[in-house]
Amino acid sequence: MPQNRMRLKIVSAGESVLRQPARLLDPAEIHGGPIQELIAHMRETLRDAPGVGLAAPQVGQLVQLAIIEDLAEYHANLNAAQLAERERVPVPFHVVINPVLYLVTPPEIEFFEGCLSVPGYTAVVARSHRVRVQCLDQAGMPRSIEASGWYARILQHEIDHLNGTLYLDRMDTRTFCTLDNHARHWKTKSVAEVKAALSSKFDSSV
């Protein structure tokens, strides 16, 4: 892999590249210098952000490629109970190319979710607890991934990016808030408590 890495600009919501389906990569392209350099630069960008996943459209490249890495150090702001509830464990760096996502369970597990392309905000998003992904890896080799918990959520989020979808399209709109307000009001609350507090008080019978 090339040694000269650079941080790429992460595009934000409102850029058309985030709303278009990315094209499939030919296996021959995967081995080429441009894609291998893109992977290296994306890894540097993800570490710098920091984040747990980054899709090529987020750096302006409309190709079916995403990287994932959930380091143990990113879990420091969660206690043991929160980690267990989210089923969040460290996930080593890896690349998914041309992924096909299969939802093994219904999308009914709700947690707050953020995105590097929607900086400063978060919202509750329902995702499937278990997924299966068929894809190619960084070497262009076929790979089958079985994932659950937070890892499954990351995969769903990143693969959404490759299809022009943001978490904004799937969120519970009433829970959308700034990261500051999330930390101030909702960080220690359950999703059920948050949704109850932010639900509409309007009574149509009045």
What CATH number does residue 34 fall under?
Answer: 3.90.45.10
Residue 2 has pLDDT above 80, yes or no: no
Residues in a beta bridge with 102: 132
Q: Tell me the pLDDT tens digit for each residue of 110-147.
A: 999 999 999 999 999 999 999 999 999 999 999 999 99
The active-site residue out of 69, 110, 113, 158 is 158
Mean pLDDT of the chain: 94
Q: What are phi and psi of 42, to 5 degrees?
A: -65, -40
Q: What are phi and psi of 8, to 5 degrees?
A: -95, 155
Residue 1 has pLDDT above 60, yes or no: no
Instruction: Tell me if 119 is assigned to some domain.
Output: no
Q: Is 43 exposed, middle or buried (0-12, 13-18, 19+ CB in 10 A)?
A: middle
Alpha-carbon gap, residue 164 to 63, rounded angstroms: 11
Q: Which residues of 10-25 are buried (b: 16+ CB within 10 A; e: fewer)?
A: bbeeeeebbeeebeeb
SS3 for 7? Answer: coil
Question: What's the pTM value of the predicted model, to 2 decimals?
Answer: 0.93
Residues in a beta bridge with 123: 113
Contact 131, 152 (CB under 8 A): yes
Instruction: Tell me if 45 is assigned to some domain.
Output: yes
Total domain count, the chain: 1
Domain boundaries, position 150: 16-105+127-170
Q: Which residues of 66-98 are buried (b: 16+ CB within 10 A; e: fewer)?
A: bbbbbeeeebeeeeeeeeeeeebeebeeebbbb
Of 174 and 204, the one with more pLDDT: 174
- Least confident range from 21-25, 167-171, 176-180, 190-194: namely 190-194
Instruction: Tell me if 195 is assigned to some domain.
Output: no
Instruction: Tell me if 188 is assigned to some domain.
Output: no
Instruction: Tell me if 36 is assigned to some domain.
Output: yes
Instruction: Tell me if 37 is assigned to some domain.
Output: yes
- Over residues 173-201, the mean pLDDT reads 91
Instruction: Tell me if 114 is assigned to some domain.
Output: no
pLDDT at 199: 81
Alpha-carbon gap, residue 119 to 79, rounded angstroms: 24
Instruction: Tell me if 192 is assigned to some domain.
Output: no
Residue 97 has pLDDT above 70, yes or no: yes
Residue 205 has pLDDT above 70, yes or no: no
Tokens 């149509």 label which residue? 204
Active site residue 158: yes
Q: Is 174 exposed, middle or buried (0-12, 13-18, 19+ CB in 10 A)?
A: middle
Residue 201 has pLDDT above 80, yes or no: no
pLDDT at 6: 87
Alpha-carbon gap, residue 20 to 165, rounded angstroms: 8
Alpha-carbon gap, residue 195 to 172, rounded angstroms: 9
